[in-house]
Structure 1
Amino acid sequence: MTLYSSTPYSELSVGMEAEIRRLCRAEDFFVFANASGNHNPMHLPREDHDGDGTPDEPVAPSMWVASLFSAVFGNMLPGPGTLYKGQTLRFLDRARAGEELTVKVRLTELKPDRVACFETWIEAEDGRRIVEGVAEVIAPERSVTFDDEDLPGLTVRRHVHFDRLLDLAEPLDPIPTAVVCPEEENALAGALLAAEHTLIRPILIGDSGKIAEVAAQIGADLTGFELLDEPDHDQAAATGVRLIHEGRANALMKGHLHTSRLLRHIVKRDGGLRTGKRLSHVFVMDVPGLDHLLMVTDAAINITPTLEEKVDITQNAIDLGLSLGIEQPKVGILSAIETVNPKIPSTIDAAVLSKMAERGQIKGGLVDGPLAMDNAVDIEAAKTKGIRSLVAGHADILVVPNMEAGNMLAKELTFVAHAEAAGIVMGALCPIILNSRADDDKARLASCAVAALYHEWRKRP
């Protein structure tokens, strides 16, 4: 909470000054674009403004920069109760995301009817002036006090963590990927988009007629892509698995077929993609407002996993976290409460998993549980409950008690918290990319980027 108090007109005197400092953030430019309707790409992150093929730091919108004067007038001098009467502006230079600006005003004249005139200017860190002008405001008649406790905050729905994954993966060689049944618009477009970003080299397996028809609908050219004609979905899935064993593909990607049909061939004891580990699914989620990636497992394969299966589920997620650049993934084993209760089996599993990690039976991460959802991801909730842990409040990975809980959690994050979700199956001979029909382009790209990074990590000695 910040408390603001104004200086009434009767107490103003020529020469009074005030200033604030403000960091230019890309999030501010998104807010300005939405509020003003100005969608000029010069002001938006990750756009190539000069056409050299590399995204540039966005230029701060000039009117956003100028709007910072109002923060000084409304909060400091004269302060709450002030109203604008006029403002002249002369823009001398540009500011960019990442620069800190100093916003200054100086009272130059007092006029009748509570009108106060100010010299106004904004400087960059190196002292150069960005904008200058003259403002006239109507000062408050009496002192006004205001606290901003009830001012609602804003969360920008921007998925910077997925952007980072794409940046990490795009320099890698594309993974030869068996794409099974890309016979629907999103399935084919997602594979081709990932190929365009050099994340995968797709081998398209399915009904060639349907694939060609979909390509025509989306205006895609399939020239140069390997296409294996296999109209039967069951046989297409078997072919995808076979390509992994033959070394022609290093990843498997689900297209427009039932997940169970694909998994049936993956889990076969003879000719499948089993390893010594339990297969498990991991949602890699970019949640707006969260300063790190969040992984949820298992929400798609293991319905009611045993303790032994949860060991593999946890280890699989840690391995994936390491491959994505998390130095020591923090794993929260979730339950409804954060204390061990014999009547709630998931709390006992969580305590055992934590102890197993302490003894080195689960490696590479910090594991703690049982934790409830709130104290796993929110440090204040953890403090309120008196939980002292390196994981509580900072979890990178959430291991859920069962598939129902995981699926509901992932869907709530996606549709209520506006998270983007990439999906991958771990524990097989190769990464398996599982996309949902509801996934947008960013989520599909992120799934391929996750697979590429994990594939690269596995090759390390």
Structure 2
Amino acid sequence: MDDETRPGQVHLTDLIHRARGGRPIPTAVAHPCDHHAVRAACDAAETGLIRPILVGPMARVRDAAEAEGVDISAFETVDAPYSEASAAAAVAAVRSGQAEMLMKGSLHTDELLTAALDPALGLRTKRRLSHVYLMDVPLYSKLLLITDAAVNIAPALEEKRDIVQNSIDLAHAIGIALPNVAILSALETVTPRLPSTLDAAALCKMADRGQISGGRLDGPLAFDNAVNLAAAADKGIVSPVAGAADILVVPDLEAGNMLAKQLTFLAGAEAAGVVLGARVPVVLTSRADSDAARLASCAVAVLLARFRAAAPAVGAS
């Protein structure tokens, strides 16, 4: 569906435009040793979003840049012999203040996050790290944030509290003042037979008690009731969140991963992604991402970095 059929819709391209024009954020790009990673760093630099600091085995990085036909001669570089060393050096660049964001190159996600989570040398805060997909879905009236589909496999209640708060903070950073947060399950009623419904009810009560702030929570809600007002009405659900969710909090990583990929490959959604809860935003890109998706992920992280600089995030150590 084109933009004309969705008046007022905020798209990922709007976030890219919004992120342009400010100070480019110094960004440590860990192990950009293939054409996808080098192209992503160059595109983000050319758009004015980031100032890349390329961290990795520089002979391989230059070979990748030459093969892709891009010029990296103006970028700062840090030589590191292999992927784990690249991750550690990129994290060290953030800790030293040389970089203000972290970006995944062609190494594995767990290699980068292992370095970021190192108790002594990493980027931990009081918050649990979590991932948020921002989905631009043609059939939905606004951006849809999905969490967590990439980092936390089977989060417990306290971890879900951080996942929810991280996503609310991101929503604020992209301009959603009071996001509607739907805690998903397979049912709309609370039952001990389905633990995700108990977690949903507890999270809503935690919001009532101020343990989660800045958003409007409801759950448990099934997916259809969270995004479709008619489906919610058919079930007799009266809620300002039902049918109007900004954020979908999934029960576990498997559910979130399947949901995000279904929206991408069957509903034509574009997706950006960022990891929250660390000292700085962490951009995770995938080989399957389009160039536009990689650029949007950088733009979201830049908006978050600038938002934090203006008002430091609660939970930062």
**TM-score scaled to structure 2, two decimals?**
0.95
Structure 2 counterparts to residues 52-67 of structure 1, below 5 A: none
Aligned pair in 2 of structure 1 residues 179, 286: CA closer, same or farther (>3 Å)?
same
4+ residue stretches of structure 1 with deviation over 4 A?
25-28
**Which amino acid in the other structure matches residue 406 of structure 1?**
G
Please state if 1:261 is matched with 2:116.
Answer: no
The equivalent residue for 1:365 is: 215
Structure 2 counterparts to residues 244-323 of structure 1, below 5 A: 244-323=94-173
Q: Shift of residue 244 of structure 1? A: 0.6
| SS class of match (1:369) | strand
Matching residue within 47, 54, 67 for 1:204: 54
**Which amino acid in the other structure matches residue 386 of structure 1?**
G
Provide the C-alpha distance between the structure 2 equivalents of 1:310 and 1:172, rounded to a whole number of angstroms. Answer: 33
Larger helix fraction of residues: 2
Q: Which runs of 5+ in 2 are unaligned?
A: 312-317
The CA RMSD over aligned residues, in Å, is 1.5
Q: Shift of residue 219 of structure 1? A: 1.1
Provide the C-alpha distance between the structure 2 equivalents of 1:259 and 1:223, rounded to a whole number of angstroms. Answer: 27
The equivalent residue for 1:334 is: 184
Q: Deviations over 1:388-411 (max 9, x none)?
A: 101000000000000110111111
The equivalent residue for 1:74 is: none
Provide the C-alpha distance between the structure 1 equivalents of 2:17 and 2:48, rounded to a whole number of angstroms. Answer: 11
Matching residue within 187, 198, 206 for 1:356: 206
Matching residue within 393, 396, 402 for 2:246: 396
**Which amino acid in the other structure matches residue 236 of structure 2?**
G
Provide the C-alpha distance between the structure 1 equivalents of 2:21 and 2:280, rounded to a whole number of angstroms. Answer: 20
Provide the C-alpha distance between the structure 1 equivalents of 2:137 and 2:168, rounded to a whole number of angstroms. Answer: 19
Q: Shift of residue 289 of structure 1? A: 2.4
The equivalent residue for 2:83 is: 233
- Contact 2:2/2:138, CA 8 A, preserved across alignment: no
Q: Deviations over 1:242-276 (max 9, x none)?
A: 00110000000000011111111111111111000
Please state if 1:425 is matched with 2:283.
Answer: no
Provide the C-alpha distance between the structure 1 equivalents of 2:114 and 2:125, rounded to a whole number of angstroms. Answer: 15
| SS class of match (2:295) | helix
| SS class of match (2:51) | strand
Aligned pair in 2 of structure 1 residues 26, 420: CA closer, same or farther (>3 Å)?
closer
Provide the C-alpha distance between the structure 1 equivalents of 2:129 and 2:3, rounded to a whole number of angstroms. Answer: 38
**Which amino acid in the other structure matches residue 15 of structure 2?**
L
Q: Shift of residue 214 of structure 1? A: 1.3
Corresponding pairs, count: 309
Provide the C-alpha distance between the structure 2 equivalents of 1:180 and 1:26, rounded to a whole number of angstroms. Answer: 36
The equivalent residue for 1:414 is: 264
Q: Deviations over 1:189-214 (max 9, x none)?
A: 01100000011100001111111111
Q: Which runs of 5+ in 1 are unaligned?
A: 1-24, 29-154
Matching residue within 215, 234, 238 for 2:65: 215
**Which amino acid in the other structure matches residue 150 of structure 2?**
A
| SS class of match (1:459) | helix
| SS class of match (1:300) | coil
Q: Shift of residue 184 of structure 1? A: 0.7
Please state if 1:180 is matched with 2:30.
Answer: yes
Q: Shift of residue 423 of structure 1? A: 1.0
Q: Shift of residue 26 of structure 1? A: 6.7
Q: Shift of residue 160 of structure 1? A: 5.7
Q: Shift of residue 231 of structure 1? A: 2.3
Q: Shift of residue 217 of structure 1? A: 1.4
Aligned pair in 2 of structure 1 residues 296, 262: CA closer, same or farther (>3 Å)?
same
Mark the structure with the bigger radius of gyration.
1
**Which amino acid in the other structure matches residue 275 of structure 1?**
T
Larger strand fraction of residues: 1
| SS class of match (1:179) | strand
| SS class of match (1:274) | coil
Provide the C-alpha distance between the structure 2 equivalents of 1:291 and 1:186, rounded to a whole number of angstroms. Answer: 31
